[in-house]
Structure 1
Amino acid sequence: MNWDQVEGSWKMQKGKIMSKWGKLTDDDIESIKGKRTELLGLIQSRYGRAKNEAELEIDKWVELLS
């Protein structure tokens, strides 16, 4: 799966997102609306991750969706 597919099925991925990143709220997920940069920023702020760490985490999660 690539990010375009994730973005297109964002609402369907909501449960998986919340399982992976439990510190994100329903409102966070709704406001992200599939935008990778928004997800990246929230992971960085909520989990104290560096940008490259958060990017790798997102990439690995997307790979597991395939």
Structure 2
Amino acid sequence: MRGRCYSVPARKVRPRQLVEIRATKSQISLHSATAAVGDDSLLAVHARAVGRGVRVVDESH
């Protein structure tokens, strides 16, 4: 594992779904890149991981 991995709820994604990553210095938000106009595209929000190979998992996912 080279980069960072962030969890998303399994019920909100399907195989081969494109996910858009929006990042700030402190936060990562994951959005469905295929959401219809007007639909909520937000899949998950996490604090930004520091370091390579880090896994960030929300246990509620």
The answer to whether the superposition gives a TM-score over 0.5 is: no
The TM-score with structure 1 as length reference comes to 0.29
Specify which structure has the higher proportion of helix. 1
The TM-score with structure 2 as length reference comes to 0.31
